[in-house]
Every structure is written in C-alpha cells, then in structure tokens.
Amino acid sequence: MDSKGPSSTSNSQSGREVEASVLEKAAAMLKDCKERWNEQGLETRLNDALGFNNLIWSIFKSEISKGTTPIPVEIRQNLLQLSDFIDKRSEEIKKAPSADKMDILININLNIASGLKGVPSD
C-alpha cells in the first residue's frame, strides 16, 4: 500500500490519506447495506459495496505483491493474508447473504484506515 496505486490520483492528499479515504468509503457502503438490510434494492447495494471493496483490496494486493513498497515483509505477508480473508468472506456473503457477516469487513477497513491515518482505532 502507499505505493503508486490509488494513491497517485490526488496531489492534495498523501497516498496514505487517499488509501484511508477509500477504505472508509468502502466501509460506509458496507455499513449502509447492513443498516438497510431489509430495504428494497439490497442486492444492488450489496453487489456495489462488495465489488468496490474487492476492487480496493485487489489493488492493494497487487501493489503489496510487487514487493516494491516500503512496508516490512511481515506486515506485507499479514496484509496479503487479510486480503485473502476478505475475498473469502465476500464470496460467503454473496453465496449466503447475512447482515452479521458484514461487520468483519467494515471493521477491517476502518481499522486499516485508522492505521494509515495514524489514528488509534476504538
């Protein structure tokens, strides 16, 4: 993360700020699905939220896998494992939708975003 991926899109924000912002947006989309689970249009909202989240994590995974980021090896390995977990959880949600399954994805994104911004998570 914080390489030349999504972080190079803004001159006014640092790479970490952009990455944190994108993770927060994905978390908000996922949270919206959870909070409006029984409302009409869930399938579309859920597909959009999971698709956006998976896109973000695919980009992170690609950048981390290159090994050109300044992130220590152990943290890179942990982030790659986390990315794999997110892929698996997303597939579980698609196959058997459940609002309760959303929490872990929301929390991961918010915690990583907090870390990128240097803010302790709750």
In a domain, 7, yes or no: no
Does 98 fall in a domain?
yes
Structural domain span for residue 24: 12-117
Residue 15 or 84, more confident: 84
Asked if residue 44 lies in contact with residue 50, where contact means CB atoms within 8 angstroms, the answer is no
Average pLDDT, the chain: 89
Residue 1 domain-assigned (yes or no): no
> One-letter amino acid identity for 36?
R
Residues 53-73 pLDDT 10s: 999 999 999 999 987 888 899
Q: Which of 10-14, 23-27, 86-90 has the lowest mean pLDDT?
A: 10-14
Q: What is the DSSP letter of 110?
A: H
For residue 6, tell me if it sits in a domain: no
pLDDT tens digit string along 70-93? 889 999 999 999 999 999 999 999
Q: What percent of the chain has pLDDT over 70?
A: 86
Least confident of 9-18, 25-34, 44-53, 105-114: 9-18
Q: Is residue 3 part of a domain?
A: no
Domain count, the chain: 1
**Residue 82 domain-assigned (yes or no):** yes
Strand, helix or coil at 97? coil
Whether residue 90 lies inside any domain: the answer is: yes
Quote the tokens at residue 24: 């927060």
The CATH number of the domain holding residue 52 is 1.20.120
